[in-house]
């Protein structure tokens, strides 16, 4: 029998997994694997970490370049 803390931890894991899947689905990445990810950023040619590649299968930008891309998109949209 599990206690309340174990149940809460399991639920938190499920919610994080669901959120990650939803984020990947919105980005159109659900059919891709870590092997589809770039090892080096398409913008700056810096290495992309294995953790990022695993979290976002199909990724082609490093964290910094993705941040800059999103920042520019927000400016363009007027946010």
pTM, rounded to two decimals: 0.54
pLDDT on residue 55: 82
Residue range 6-39, pLDDT digits in tens:
888 888 888 887 777 777 666 665 555 556 678 8
pLDDT on residue 30: 53
Angstrom CA distances, 25 to 33, 52, 57, 72, 78, stand at 13, 16, 11, 23, 25
User: Which two structure tokens, joined as six digits, stand for 58?
Assistant: 């199909």
pLDDT on residue 44: 93
Residue range 39-64, pLDDT digits in tens:
898 999 999 888 888 888 788 899 99
User: Which two structure tokens, joined as six digits, stand for 42?
Assistant: 């398409």
Locus of tokens 């984020």: 23
């Amino acid at each position: 029998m599990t206690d309340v803390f174990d149940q809460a931890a399991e639920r938190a894991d499920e919610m994080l997994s669901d959120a990650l899947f939803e984020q990947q689905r919105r980005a159109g990445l659900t059919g891709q694997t870590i092997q589809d990810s770039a090892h080096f950023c398409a913008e700056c040619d810096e290495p992309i970490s294995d953790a990022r590649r695993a979290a976002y299968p199909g990724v082609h930008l490093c964290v910094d370049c993705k941040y800059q891309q999103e920042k520019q998109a927000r400016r363009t949209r007027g946010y």
